[in-house]
A and B are shown apart, each in its own frame.
Chain A
Amino acid sequence: MDVAQATSVGADPVTPWVGDGCSRIPARIYTDPHIYARELERIFYGRHWSYVGLEAEVPDAGSFKRTAIGERSVIMIRNRKGEINVLENRCAHRAMQFCQERSGKVKTLVCPYHQWNYNYDGKLLGVPFQRGVKGQGGMPADFTLEDRSLKKLQVAVRNGIVFASFASDVEPFEAYVGDEVLKYFDRTFDGRKLRIHGYSRQRIPGNWKLMMENIKDPYHPGLLHTWFVTFGLWRADNKSELKMDAEGRHACMISRRSETLDKDVTQGVSSFRENMKLNDMRLLDIVHEPWWGQPTVCMTTIFPSVVLQQQVNSLSTRQIIPVGPDKFDFVWTHFGFEDDDPAMTERRLRQANLFGPAGFVSADDGEVIEFSQDGFRQDPAFETLCELGGTDVGDADHMVTETLIRGMYRYWRKVMEL
């Protein structure tokens, strides 16, 4: 059965979990179309805030950017008052996804099929032949333009970052994120104007949650990613902290680069290369920025749809757009600040070689996610083990724990009622 059918029949998924813990994760939550349909309904279209973009992407009235929340296409557009709206990309007439350009600037939003015409707030301005032609045809007497607006989502803009929700009763964004994670959100996004550097897009053949897990997993970077171990960017001896919101759904992995090396953490780590030297050290030309404070890296996950990256001088948002239970699109938006000098811009762009679909420490994340998904597919009865550091959920001041992943699944089980 495909996902569309699963949604339409509203079949209740059967829980694949054994017991009420969150440290043994059943394979079926990554593959089952019924479970995925409920995730779309309750998580992506439910009372959660999803990332849409950066205000800097829509500078003027009428500037828009098309993206998606879950599998629903949406348009972020600035109105004449300078506010940001997020509208569903679906004509109120015949459901056409009328917006096909990814970004641009328009006078009004027009569906080309029958020229229904909407303003930047999604209000229907007019329809051709409303009163018929020469007394014939036309819309019925009870037709009103007011009833046929584009679906308008709840919008939260915080320091230039735009989130939206399909749920009219979603809690305020700040309460949703929680004080602890918000503190780190504001560390990067403190209201300074952002400068967009560009995009990378990849389609990863794995379940969307695997990317959230990857960025909630401080265990793997110092093992899978040679660069992180060898150059001390992310290593088990780094001073680090793991923080969550009260629900356990969002998290920050905060760490400080070690210049010195503790032999304990490289012993037996086959990816460590003691004598590895770069031919060109400009790839790691790290310059400390005052706003960092002590940490040199902070990876924030805002459930369910975005990862906020500060890895030394490289900054990006990474958006997760699910495309069925077994794949998702991963959209990277790299940025800097408007007051960066040219040397800092160049540095951020050079360090971007570490990240993205070709990145020295990111390309292999997509690969391992793909092969995990393959493993789930081959045996639906399998459970993953997520018990590094125990089976409970809580903040930590070290990296040798999978507590953040358990936190996410504790919340997931609550909201999914599975």
Chain B
Amino acid sequence: MLSFERRAQLLDLYSAYAACLDDGRFGDWPDFFVEDCHYRVVPRENYDQNLPLSTMELHGVGMLRDRVYGVQSTLFHAPYYQRHIIGIPRILDYSDDGIDVEANYLVIRTKRDQPSEVFNTGRYLDTVVTTSQGLKFRQKSCVFDSELIPNSLIYPI
């Protein structure tokens, strides 16, 4: 069994990840990933049928930084708050190489002058590895159930 210490570190990782996005500190977001990471946001429809298209798919921290630049400097959008509710991480597998984790998530979006609404919901399918700066994501797939994206998806989830 994965040690309690490791599990506690995992919980810290997920809660820190949520806080980073919910605070809108997008510049810090790539720091949760190792250099050769893979991040994708993918509709469940595609994932279940093994169709490769993602809504967003980034290879390596460089591309994550390019996305952050897009969010902060090039993509015109109405600003909104995000609130991530992440379920207790379920450990699928682990070895010296990394920990495979699944965690349900719910993202609530609040636009200016509007009531809050469910924006995106699904599960993370992640691989977490140990680095000298603590646990980081090598792989993060956000497989979302939501059949229709309410207009656009700007910020990472």
Report A's interface with B, CB cutoff 8 A. 102, 196-205, 224-227, 271, 273, 276, 278-280, 282-283, 329, 334, 345, 349-350, 352-353, 356-358, 360, 363-364, 366-368, 370-371
B5 in the interface (beta carbon within 8 A): no
Stretch at the interface among B56-64, B87-95, B130-138: B56-64
Q: A198-B46, A271-B74 are in contact. Are A352 and B53 (CB under 8 A)?
A: yes
Cα–Cα distance between A358 and B150 once the two chains are bound (Å)? 11
Chain B residues closer than 8 Å to A282, beta-carbon distance: 59, 63
With both chains docked as a complex, state the minimum distance between the C-beta of B18 and any C-beta of chain A, in angstroms.
19
Chain B residues closer than 8 Å to A205, beta-carbon distance: 151
B3 in the interface (beta carbon within 8 A): no
Between B41, B60, B70, the greatest number of chain A beta carbons within 10 A of the residue's beta carbon is seen for: B70
Q: A226-B73, A363-B75 are in contact. Are A199 and B151 (CB under 8 A)?
A: no
Cα–Cα distance between A350 and B67 once the two chains are bound (Å)? 13
Cα–Cα distance between A353 and B74 once the two chains are bound (Å)? 14
Q: A199-B43, A353-B58, A358-B56 are in contact. Are A329 and B148 (CB under 8 A)?
A: yes
B83 in the interface (beta carbon within 8 A): no
Dominant secondary structure of chain A at its interface with chain B: mixed
B153 in the interface (beta carbon within 8 A): yes
Between B52, B62, B63, the greatest number of chain A beta carbons within 10 A of the residue's beta carbon is seen for: B52
For this complex, into which size category does the number of interface residues on chain B fall?
35 or more
Cα–Cα distance between A129 and B52 once the two chains are bound (Å)? 47
B20 in the interface (beta carbon within 8 A): no
Report B's interface with A, CB cutoff 8 A. 41, 43, 45-46, 49, 51-63, 65-66, 69-70, 73-78, 147-154
Quick check: B151 and A102 within 8 Å, CB to CB? no
Cα–Cα distance between A367 and B65 once the two chains are bound (Å)? 23
Quick check: B74 and A357 within 8 Å, CB to CB? no
Nearest chain A residue, comparing its CB with the CB of B63: A280
Nearest chain A residue, comparing its CB with the CB of B45: A199
Quick check: A280 and B66 within 8 Å, CB to CB? yes
Chain B residues closer than 8 Å to A280, beta-carbon distance: 59-60, 62-63, 66
Quick check: B55 and A364 within 8 Å, CB to CB? no
Quick check: B73 and A273 within 8 Å, CB to CB? yes
Chain A residues closer than 8 Å to B149, beta-carbon distance: 200-203, 357-358
Nearest chain A residue, comparing its CB with the CB of B148: A203
